[in-house]
Amino acid sequence: MRHRTVIWMIGLTLLTGCVGNTSLPTLLPTDDLAADEIMRRAHDAAGGEQWRRPHSLSMTGYAVFYRDGKAVRHEQHSMWRVYARDKQEAHVADGKVRIESMRDGNAIIDLSFDGTTTYTTAGPQPQSAADQQWSSSFGFGVIRHALDAGYTLARLPDDLIDGRPAYVINVLDPTGGATRFGIAHDDLSILRVGFDTPRGWHERIYSEFFSNPGSSWRQPGRVRLYYDGIKANEVIWTRYALDRDLPDCLFVLPEAADCQREP
């Protein structure tokens, strides 16, 4: 008899464990905000006009890259960016950019664009290969232009991003290129960007935001990058600087020995 009781209690426990949490709220829209109003509020929360139209941005931190099941830390990961004032295509290189990632004192990644030509440490690269390279990377910056003439915004179903309820906005640039952004309900932080690339569907998840003293610019401290749902790398930004005059030589590789990176 006792044996049957134990079996009955185990069965009841298993059955109870199969019952879902009926108290979880659904992600029905909690408001009727239009996509452009959400975007406008997100711009203000990110840093206002300085964030929307910066001159330059320098970022430094470290990164972890995942290859063949192994995680490899790059002890210094840096990016320098000079922004174009206008943007017509979301996934085409514009302005100037350089990405440098160091491991054991060696540049494992060193890639730049000077506004016309793409470079590696081997020198200028063919345009077709360069265009494909940048189309897998450029995408976030289009949100700064999402309220410009020629852009179309649409609100998609809300979602959870790292457990945070978020608006999802689809941004179409004037050429029809699509980019999707996830924006937090509570503080309007930009939590996610996603777009199609030659490497597959690309997403970046942003978190751990911070600001320099006296600045309204909200800088993500952690960026996780995925292709087709698989994490490719993770960047931890520890410092940033805004609107410095970055020298042209910084964006031409191999870098000249007398190039002064920071004024």
Q: How many residues does the chain have?
A: 263
Question: If we measure between CA atoms, which residue out of 36, 57, 79, 17 comes closest to residue 233?
Answer: 79
Q: Is the peptide bond before 254 cis (omega within 30 degrees of 0)?
A: yes
Cα 107 versus chain centre, distance: 22
pTM score:
0.88
Tell me: pLDDT of 214 over 60: yes
Residue appearing with tokens 């975007």: 39
Question: Which pLDDT score is estimated for 12?
Answer: 46
Q: How do residues 114-128 score in pLDDT, each as one tens digit?
A: 999 999 999 999 876
Q: How do residues 53-83 score in pLDDT, each as one tens digit?
A: 999 999 999 999 998 889 999 999 999 999 9
What domains does the chain contain, in order, with CATH numbers?
41-251 (2.50.20.10)
Tell me: pLDDT of 4 over 60: no
Q: At 15, is the pLDDT very low, low, confident or very high (cuts 50, 70, 90)?
A: very low
Q: How do residues 146-205 score in pLDDT, each as one tens digit?
A: 999 999 999 999 999 999 999 999 999 999 999 999 999 999 999 999 999 999 999 999
230: left (phi over 0), alpha (psi -120 to 50) or beta: beta
Alpha-carbon gap, residue 103 to 175, rounded angstroms: 39
Q: Are 188 and 33 in contact (CB under 8 A)?
A: no
Which is it for strands 106-113 and 123-124: parallel, antiparallel or unpaired? unpaired
Secondary structure, 3-state, the chain: CHHHHHHHHHHHHHHHHCCCCCCCCCCCCCCCCCHHHHHHHHHHHHCHHHHHCCCEEEEEEEEEEEECCEEEEEEEEEEEEECCCCCCCCCCCCCEEEEEEEECCEEEEEEEECCCCEEECCEECCHHHHHHHHHCCCCHHHHHHCCCCCCEEEEEEEEEECCEEEEEEEEECCCCCEEEEEEECCCCCEEEEEEEECCEEEEEEEEEEECCCCCCCCEEEEEEEEECCEEEEEEEEEEEEECCCCCHHHHCCCCCCCCCCCC
Residue appearing with tokens 């007398």: 258
Question: If we measure between CA atoms, which residue out of 188, 187, 193, 216 comes closest to residue 206?
Answer: 193
Q: Are 139 and 196 in contact (CB under 8 A)?
A: no
Cα 126 versus chain centre, distance: 26
